Amino acid sequence: MLHVFSINNQVVSLNEREQYVLNKKDKARLYKQLSEQAATQIVILSTCQRFEVYTEMRRGVQEKIKQVLIDFFDLTPVIFHRQFIEHSGDQALIHLLKVSTGLLAHVLGETQVLGQVKIAYEEAVTHQTVSKSFHTIFQSTFHFSKQMHKQTGINDHPVSLSYSAYQFIETKVSAPKTILILGAGNMGQLFIEYALPSQHRLIVLNRDQTKLIGLPETVTIGKLSDWPHYIESADVVVSSLELDSPLMTRTSLQLCQVENLLMIDLALPRSIEPSVQTLSGIELFDLDQLGETIDAHYFVRKQKAQIIIDCMTQEVSRLNSKLHSQQFDEERRTLFLERDQLLTEAMAGIDRQLPALSKKERTVIQHHLKQAVTKATLLKIEDLKGKQSNHHTFNTKERTHD
């Protein structure tokens, strides 16, 4: 069964979370240490928003994994217990479903996290830390999440300012455009993150140039003071600047002689003078207009999130039945393998003690011995079936390949 260690985002600050964002090399090192110490199935999810370790729920394993994490991140037990939460069994399955469907995302219902969980699973496959039960759990989770996203359309209603701004732009333009982004603070960075996968050309201007380090080469970067130069080639302007007075005024835009410009001001105080919308060809939208959209969309998302939660109980029950059936089949196969091994060893002993047996005598002895050993094996299987009868209906017959 599943067990998860998860960073508690409600109590862990952004600065504290930074150490849990692992590059490929560090993640490989952690996989190696966890595998060596715990020898269990492991999937590590490490993103800018989440850090989680999914493992098997087995006696003694959790304490070993906990100690590896404490040592790896140089934590004290007190800090570990403050920063991490744990879920086991059905609660761990529900947690994974909530993560994958985006119900625990920064933006409720965001579908991007499903891709991140898929990548984490694929990395675990590469590191050879997953086997049959984890394949079942994660592949079933992906199917459920995709189905819920499609069925509810929860991600069709933007609820963050940055994402709302990006989605708003997508509804206003019909082809790739040049987007001039003013400011690279938290809101600006989020907008950049949403816009990067698109075909739009991005220009990012900021006072502090160090915040622009690490942006892809496809993004044009520059100084904020040079905005009059860059705005001439822009189709869209998105500003999240924190200023005491507007950077862009009606007069300054008149001097730039801009035409057909879509402007979105996410700042408060405003960084774009409201009167610019009186200029021909300029459309300006501010926080109030976007906020009305967000309020309505968040209510819809909450309703759709509840639909997904209501479906999780049935999904967990279905998944548990499948896992218990798999476990039963594996234990049943092991019992028949043990029977075959016992029969082989017994016949080898008989051959040593009674080397003069004829072929017919040996066949008769082997037949009766196999019947006796098989009967004992089937009794064990019936006992196993009785212990798990609440979960599934099992087949106790011997299969041809056993």
* Residue 366 counted as an annotated binding residue: no
Q: Which residues are catalytic?
A: 48
Homologous superfamily in CATH for domain 2-154: Glutamyl-tRNA reductase, N-terminal domain (3.30.460.30)
Angle between helices 287-353 and 132-152 (to 10 degrees): 150
298's CB contacts (< 8 A; 6+ apart) are: 108, 157, 159
* Residue 110 counted as an annotated binding residue: yes
* Residue 48 counted as an annotated binding residue: yes
Q: Where are the beta strands (DSSP E) in 301-397?
A: none
pLDDT score, position 389: 60
* Residue 214 counted as an annotated binding residue: no
Query: Which residues, listed in sequence order, are joined to residue 239 by a DSSP beta bridge?
Result: 182, 265
DSSP 352-378: HH-TT--HHHHHHHHHHHHHHHHHHHH
* Residue 111 counted as an annotated binding residue: yes
* Residue 82 counted as an annotated binding residue: no
All structural domains of the chain with their residue ranges = 2-154, 161-292, 333-372
> Which of 205, 245, 202, 199 has its CA nearest to residue 224?
205
Q: Where are the beta strands (DSSP E) in 2-77?
A: 2-7, 42-46, 51-56
Place of tokens 């408060």: 268
* Residue 349 counted as an annotated binding residue: no
pLDDT score, position 396: 39
* Residue 167 counted as an annotated binding residue: no
Cα-only R_g, the chain: 30
pLDDT score, position 388: 63
Please state, in angstroms and rounded to a whole number, the distance separating the CA atoms of residues 288 and 309: 31
Query: Could you give the residue ranges of the DSSP H alpha helices within 177-231?
Result: 186-195, 227-231
C-beta of residue 284 within 8 angstroms of C-beta of residue 272: yes
Please state, in angstroms and rounded to a whole number, the distance separating the CA atoms of residues 106 and 113: 10
pLDDT score, position 390: 53
pLDDT score, position 18: 77
C-beta of residue 213 within 8 angstroms of C-beta of residue 156: no
CB count within 10 Å of CB 319 equals 21
Question: Structure tokens of 51?
Answer: 């850090």
pLDDT average per 10 residues of sequence, the chain (402 residues): 90 80 92 90 88 90 94 96 96 97 82 90 96 95 96 77 85 92 91 91 94 91 95 94 90 88 88 92 85 70 93 94 84 86 91 91 90 86 71 43 37
Q: Where are the beta strands (DSSP E) in 30-161?
A: 42-46, 51-56, 84-88
Question: Structure tokens of 385?
Answer: 């079936």
Tell the CATH topology of 161-292: Rossmann fold (3.40.50)
Please state, in angstroms and rounded to a whole number, the distance separating the CA atoms of residues 215 and 189: 10
